[in-house]
Amino acid sequence: MNPPSASLNVLRRIAMLCALLVLLIAGVSAFLRLSKAGLGCEPWPSCFGEALRALQRGAAVDDNAVQTVALARLAHRLLASTALVLALLLALGHCTAKPLHKGRAALALGLVATALFLAGLGLLTANSRLPAVALGNLLGGFAMLAVSWRLAAPERPGDAAPRAAALWALVACGLVVIQVALGGLVSASHASLSCADSLDCLRQAARQGWPWPTLNPWREPAYDVASALPINPAGALAQALHRVGAIVASLAVLVVAWLLHRQAQRRAAATLVLLLSLQLAAGLWLVSGGVPLAGALLHNLLAALMVAALARSI
């Protein structure tokens, strides 16, 4: 049995509001993360990594000295606090609903746990330069978006599962999350300018002997004093994996869209195809435009929407 429709509709509206807030948080967080990684500085690209170099020389660098960054930090805190309150309301509503819907209650509790994890991560690792911290914030935010968007979705009939589209959506969502993690590793390890294109990334990674330890997110990126740019030449491997993985993830998303179309869910299928097309275009803009900050932010936003759309189809 399902919760009363009126109660469920209220909870769905709260979940929708939470999803929108988390999407805003993801955008602000991406701006802070990418700015910290050196994107958007002036004059580009010669300024890339100046903050990291200053820190490694022992100089103090105050990100809050930049007014835009300071305002973004304040907005991030306010939005995150509001999202946590909404997550608590969702957990309370779903756990006290009569009759209890165990699946939705578990998702709501997971949403609260993720929000608390992110809050603790922010408090304990505010000044950390480890890529693992950036990845924790990135993936945690995407998880909150996917769960809140799933809670906002209409409840399916009892005979609707299991479905081939749901299984493929789960696979595609996992592949996209891996792509997100690789992209976050590229920016957090200051590897945005490690190579020019896919072939160049593969050539450099092969020339370096495929340095798999460079993918370790617990290693702090170091400035290579032998060259001005890029800061992390060994990041070519992460770049290569990210670009090759984009092909695999795109194919999986297209399979999901095709299955949804066959099940007469044409709007969901069209949404996935549109998001994928925009994401590929944003990726090309990043490569051809020398990694502009606006392009990186758009790339991040589209990835978040892709994860949310796939999670809703699971």
pLDDT in tens, 189-212: 888 888 878 888 999 999 988 989
pLDDT of the residue at 230: 57
Q: Assign 226 a pLDDT band (cuts: 50, 70, 90).
A: low
- C-alpha 74/C-alpha 140 separation (Å) is 19
Percent of the chain with pLDDT over 70: 86
Give the torsion through C-alpha atoms of 299, 303, 306, 312, to 10 deg: -150
Q: Half-sphere exposure of 71 toward its Cβ, with a 13 Å CA cutoff?
A: 3
Pair 192, 37: CB distance under 8 Å: yes
Q: Assign 59 a pLDDT band (cuts: 50, 70, 90).
A: low
pLDDT of the residue at 225: 56
The yes-or-no verdict on residue 52 having pLDDT over 60 is: yes
pLDDT of the residue at 1: 42
**Residue recorded with tokens 């709501």:** 108
- C-alpha 87/C-alpha 168 separation (Å) is 28
- For the ranges 37-46, 117-126, 143-152, 207-216, the lowest mean pLDDT is seen at 37-46
pLDDT of the residue at 144: 96
**pLDDT for 149-168, tens place per residue?**
999 987 665 444 447 888 99
Contacts for 243 with CB less than 8 Å, ≥ 6 apart: 198, 201
- Range ranked top by mean pLDDT from 38-42, 91-95, 162-166: 91-95
Give the rounded distance of the alpha carbon of 36 from its chain centre. Answer: 16
- C-alpha 126/C-alpha 128 separation (Å) is 6
Pair 29, 138: CB distance under 8 Å: yes
Percent of the chain with pLDDT over 90: 51
The yes-or-no verdict on residue 283 having pLDDT over 60 is: yes
Residue 4: asked if its preceding bond is cis (omega within 30°), the reply is no
Residue 23, number of CB atoms within 10 A of its CB:
20
Q: Which helix (H) or strand (E) holds 112?
A: helix 102-124
Give the rounded distance of the alpha carbon of 172 from its chain centre. Answer: 15
DSSP string covering 168-198: HHHHHHHHHHHHHHHHHHHHHTT-TTS-SSH
Q: What is the mean pLDDT of the chain?
A: 85
Pair 311, 147: CB distance under 8 Å: yes
- C-alpha 9/C-alpha 6 separation (Å) is 5
Q: How many domains does the chain have?
A: 1
pLDDT of the residue at 51: 65
pLDDT of the residue at 163: 76
Domain containing 91: what range? 5-313
pLDDT of the residue at 2: 47
Pair 212, 28: CB distance under 8 Å: no
pLDDT of the residue at 63: 57
